[in-house]
Amino acid sequence: MNRVLLFNKPYGVLSQFTDKGTLESPRPTLSSYITEKCFYPAGRLDRDSEGLMVLTDSGPLQARISHPKYKLAKTYWVQVEGTPDDAALNALRSGVVLKDGKTAPAKASQIAPPANLWERTPPVRFRKSVPDAWIALTITEGRNRQIRRMTAHVGLPTLRLIRTQIGGWHLNQLRPGAWRFASETGP
């Protein structure tokens, strides 16, 4: 049986177990939080993004989760600068043209600010003159910084990005820095 671990990656943590690039000023990695042996991340999450990561001890399962050909859906809560209108949401739903090509259609909707959301350190910058809003965005690709590039393309720069779901696995009430074991297929 393949083992699966779900982790809520805090802001500023690298989605890898070592950081050989900055020996003089080490950055926090997964090893600061996860001591279980033989687990490897199935996919990445940028250092300035937060939320759900799936780790497994199975190479084939890791490939099924992270390889683009499997088109596993990933859902994000995205705090954006500005107020989404129908044109911006429809553009995200249709796919937007980025420098590396057109994105696949996404599921996009404006949502209320998530309840019971933890504070981020450092906090998101707040500007009285510019409103912000939250979007739920589900994609089946995983290009480099794709969500941030998509929202910027439609005039809604990302302020905060939290992945809440990968396939059948959900973040639920997992607090930042915490992890738990899960089934191979999700709940």
Residues annotated catalytic, as ranges: 46
As a whole number of Å, the CA-based R_g of the chain is 17
In terms of Cβ atoms closer than 10 Å to its own Cβ (0-12, 13-18, 19+), residue 186 is middle
Looking up tokens 């420098």 gives 99
> What angle in degrees, to the nearest 10, is found between the helix axes of 86-94 and 146-153?
140
Q: Which of 98, 99, 100, 78 is nearest to 89 (CA)?
A: 78
Contact (CB, 8 A) for 103 and 141: yes
* Cα angle, residue 112 at apex, residues 176 and 157 outer, rounded to 5°: 75
151-to-30, 48, 168, 187 alpha-carbon distances in Å: 28, 16, 25, 30
Q: Which of 78, 25, 31, 17 is nearest to 50 (CA)?
A: 78
